[in-house]
Structure 1
């Protein structure tokens, strides 16, 4: 199935979080609400929960954490000039950042993002879904020279029992967990990109989010998503 090009308003909502952080669950609940409300309203709002690994040494190793996601947050810190890292951090369309549990800031940033049109519309489709990888076809329009295509597999409905750390004794439900991520240069259109998938991924609860991003100021220029279950 191909998701048609999204050239109207859109919001890519990236959140940097960790199961070891006791201020993160409220932000993850907000991210779930944002994603659920967007689905019900048919809005192009794409939620991604990137689990960072710098909390892992404090008592609970997050099974969804990846050093690459920490590196992505570090790149944002350099772009924003903020220096240090913190969780939960929400970033909307690559250009606005704030504490991830701040509902007012989130609502305002998403509303502003939805008011703008995509400058680089993107269409995405699943070419092949195997047991350990997924191949995606993509098509873009008007991509600038210094741009990348980010592709993320996001899984909903994940429950984790936390035994140690700041959230010890809690069962955390997380609905927008990034299970795989890849960023490639946009060199040709149409093109193809492949992602390795984790062994425990449930395609029925997963979607692929694709978004074009400036390499310099990190602004998101276009985005779309497709359900894995339709492949």
Structure 2
């Protein structure tokens, strides 16, 4: 966690260029950002995540962006409406895997194995380029099986998945992320700011992968706009957190 009053990592003014990210060579990059609306260092990192995802869409690269909003900033004056204790627990699991033992924001993690300060464009570009040139070790496909009204006011999303014989202690993570979200922050370090955030994780599930095919169910938030949402799936080793497969489906293609 970045403490109030500590030195802040400032983002260079120039945006990352498309040329900063190498073309794909059969690889993929899952880019997770641990962030919070209560942290003044986080908006620059969220801009980096947005630019990474937009560039990847333009170039049709398999780069999958997820913004995990943690909850340990909530006690400092502003409760983040996207925060979830489960996302803090995920960051704690990474801290144990990396051997660091401590949490901070903004933290970016690429393919579960490389971590750095989330506003560091050069580190992000380098990590993504390396990931894209590494061939995936496991195939993964997702298919939409049902999209209908759910019990909680949102939509029930049922997905089918197919992969190869899963390794020992692997998990399938599935997230629904939403772009184009805005929040007016009234208190805390970002008081008075309107934050625009993309790739925010609005629903997430993780389950042990013990079969080559199966089904996964999620329910969207009632206010989620499916035209701005994507379903991301990725296979991860539970021990070292390395991500070995990833794919995505745009909800807009299903919801109409």
**What interval of TM-score do these two structures reach, taking the shorter chain for normalisation?**
over 0.9
SS of residue in 2 equivalent to 1:37: helix
Gaps of 5+ in 1: 1-5
The answer to whether the 8 A contact 1:16-1:52 is kept is yes
Aligned partner (choices 54, 68, 75) of residue 57 of structure 1: 75
Runs of 4+ in 1 over 4 A off after TM superposition: none
Per-residue deviation, residues 86-113 of structure 1 (Å, max 9, x unmatched)? 0000000000000000011101100110
Counterparts of 1:205 and 1:181, CA distance in 2 = 16
Gaps of 5+ in 2: 1-23, 151-155
Asked if residue 224 in structure 1 is aligned to residue 227 in structure 2, the reply is no
SS of residue in 1 equivalent to 2:92: helix
Aligned partner (choices 16, 25, 29) of residue 47 of structure 2: 29
Counterparts of 1:189 and 1:204, CA distance in 2 = 30
Counterparts of 2:79 and 2:148, CA distance in 1 = 29
Alignment of 1:60-75 (within 5 A): 60-75=78-93
> If you compute each CA radius of gyration, which structure gives the higher value, 1 or 2?
2
The answer to whether the 8 A contact 1:124-1:224 is kept is yes
Counterparts of 2:81 and 2:161, CA distance in 1 = 30
Counterparts of 1:135 and 1:151, CA distance in 2 = 11
SS of residue in 2 equivalent to 1:211: strand
Asked if residue 153 in structure 1 is aligned to residue 171 in structure 2, the reply is no
SS of residue in 1 equivalent to 2:167: coil
Which one has more relative contact order, counting CA pairs under 8 Å at least 6 apart? 1
The answer to whether the 8 A contact 2:165-2:212 is kept is no
The answer to whether the 8 A contact 1:53-1:62 is kept is yes
Residue-pair matches, total: 226
What is the aligned partner in structure 2 of residue 3 from structure 1? none
The answer to whether the 8 A contact 1:20-1:61 is kept is yes
Aligned partner (choices 153, 164, 174) of residue 187 of structure 2: 164
Counterparts of 1:30 and 1:151, CA distance in 2 = 23
